[in-house]
Amino acid sequence: MVVAAAVFYPGVASAQCSFTTVATTSTLDGDCVTDTTILIPNAVTLDGAGHTITAVDPLGGHFLGAVVKNGGGSANVKNLTVTASALTDVCDGGNDRLRGILFDGASGEITDNTVININQGASGCQEGNGIEVRNAPFDNSGSDLFVLISGNVVTGYQKNGITANGSVAATITGNTVTGAGPVNYIAQNGIQIGFGGTAMITDNVVSGNNYTPASFVACGILYFQADGVRASSNMRFANERDQCNFGRGGGIFNPVP
């Protein structure tokens, strides 16, 4: 059975994005624009089929939250380009923080995507993560959910390229994460594992995370109160610091839980 849907999830996806759903795979029909979060139904794979979803501000407001997010306990995203265009520079917190692809309380796979320009311009707002996976509680006492983040290209992010926070066990492999280079408005991090998260980080290329003022530190790969990380065969260059470990809460820098 083939179902063509104007919205991906009831009441939340922009009618400008349409999908063809067969079994548990929803395939994006073409490039589209959304002014609100597109949710992935539980246990469904969003296949971008090489197309692009562009986030824009809604009429009379500004874009809130993730461009693409899980709607249940598991999801997959593949072959999708996610971007944003000319978003208003307004700082938001919690669920309203800007992200490209967000898994919150979900396991699954984020593979072979391009996440570009998830930002509000030259903004100091502590949001705009390219790919983020997170799960409460944000310490080492919870049951970890597994997420594979593989083969993605992440660039033009505002704060972090790839983030794994809380009770998650992430395999982060074969990604290219490129920051904005030396900037004076925000301390970027390429890959962040924090707040009880654990990860295997291999074969990534991480560069261009460099905050020029002395007040904070930008890191290629950052551990902040992480719960066990193994990293190998990663190429890191042109970062203020290639690797940072603030596992005991030290250091002068600005993590985002």
Residue 15 lies in a domain: no
Distances 67 to 71, 181, 230 between C-alpha atoms, Å: 12, 24, 30
Residue 51 lies in a domain: yes
In the structure encoding, which two tokens stand for residue 173, read together?
A: 């492999």
| Calpha distance 232→244 (Å, rounded) | 15
Q: Which domain holds residue 69?
A: 30-246
What domain count does the chain have?
1
Check residue 160 and give its pLDDT.
98
* Prediction pTM value: 0.92
Strand partners, 52: 81
| Calpha distance 216→251 (Å, rounded) | 9
Residue 236 lies in a domain: yes
**95 φ, ψ (degrees, to nearest 5):** -65, -20
Q: What does the pLDDT look like over 120-147, one tens digit per residue?
A: 999 999 999 999 999 999 998 999 999 9
- Provide, rounded to the nearest whole percent, the portion of the chain with pLDDT above 70: 90
Residue 150 lies in a domain: yes
Contact by Cβ (8 Å): 208, 235: no
Residue 141 lies in a domain: yes
Residue 49 lies in a domain: yes
Q: What does the pLDDT look like over 161-206, one tens digit per residue?
A: 999 999 999 999 999 999 999 999 999 999 999 999 999 999 999 9
| Calpha distance 194→43 (Å, rounded) | 26
Residue 25 lies in a domain: no
Strand partners, 88: none
Helix (H, G, I), strand (E, B) or coil at 177: strand
Question: Among 197, 128, 192, 120, which Cα is nearest to 162's?
Answer: 192
Contact by Cβ (8 Å): 249, 225: yes
Residue 65 lies in a domain: yes
Peptide linkage before 137 cis (omega within 30 of 0): yes
Q: Is the pLDDT of residue 10 over 90?
A: no
Check residue 247 and give its pLDDT.
61
Domain of residue 167, CATH code: 2.160.20
